[in-house]
Amino acid sequence: MQGLFFEADAGPLVAIRVIVLLLGFWTAWRAGKAVAEGWADYPLVIVYTFLLAWAMQFLHHALFNGPMLNAFYYILDFVTLLVFSTAGFRYRRTNQMVNNYYWLYEKTSAFSWKDKH
């Protein structure tokens, strides 16, 4: 992600960077969704996002010659990916709660539910 926002882009590299960016966001969403599908708690989402942020740092380093060990870019990647993994987790957990416990809960948005009473 740092290459997309902070370095000068040229030609076909833009497409590759966008693909890597979308791949990271999609993987974060799926990681959050997978944790919810296993009925695990939210802290596991944070652990998976830490690992995914490290993998994204490696991709930036390997593909675009970005820094491998830079705390600023790691935190930037982590926070951005955490938004997507949290959204995937909450979206799936909301659907689980309102579908499995339909007599107790109703959906209030794509990411939340409430008691029917």
Question: What's the pLDDT at 64?
Answer: 83
Given a cut of 70, whether residue 19 has pLDDT beyond it is yes
Question: What's the pLDDT at 34?
Answer: 97
Buried b (16+ CB within 10 A) or exposed e, 48-76: bbeebbeebbebbbeebebeeeeeebbeb
Question: What's the pLDDT at 12?
Answer: 64
| Torsion of Cα atoms, 30 then 34 then 35 then 39, to 10° | 150
| CA–CA gap between residue 63 and residue 74 (Å, rounded) | 16
Question: What's the pLDDT at 102?
Answer: 92
The conformation of residue 9, written as its DSSP 8-state character, comes to -
Q: What is the DSSP string of 50-73?
A: HHHHHHHHHHHHHHH---SS-HHH
Q: Sorting pLDDT into bands at 50, 70 and 90, what band is 117?
A: confident
Given a cut of 90, whether residue 68 has pLDDT beyond it is no
| CA–CA gap between residue 60 and residue 21 (Å, rounded) | 10
Tell me the residue type at 106.
E
Question: What's the pLDDT at 8?
Answer: 53
Given a cut of 70, whether residue 30 has pLDDT beyond it is yes
